[in-house]
Amino acid sequence: MSKERARRRAEREAEQARQAALRAEREARLARRRERVGRVVALLPGRPVRIVSQGGIMARRRRTQNGVAVVLFLIVQVIVWLLWSSWAARFGALVISLLLVPLFLTLVFDRRS
């Protein structure tokens, strides 16, 4: 029984050592990345601006909605470019799309009503 316990303890210790090595490698990679970003930021003029994305459910939903809107807009533009060879029609479709996107977003995604 003590041999079995010793074997399990050795396995546990080996797993802990492996996890510690993975954690150390991850932290070293993160430190290298921070240092690289710091060097690049030091080259840029002005004060650094920190961009923090929100992580809540509403923010995630908003990002998804915006992504869907952009993809639909791009699909419409690609279809217009493939179907019509007239530059006036392409430009007109672009202008109309740009005017209708806010309306579309308000009608489909607005939750105030």
**pLDDT in tens for each of the 113 residues of the chain?**
789 999 999 999 999 999 999 999 999 999 999 999 888 888 878 776 777 777 788 888 888 888 999 999 999 999 999 999 999 999 999 999 999 998 988 888 876 65
Tell me the whole-structure pTM to 2 decimals: 0.50
Q: Which two structure tokens, joined as six digits, stand for 85? A: 């060879």
Cα gap 1→54, rounded to integer Å: 53
Cα gap 101→97, rounded to integer Å: 6
Within 10 A of 100 (CB to CB), how many other CB atoms are there?
13
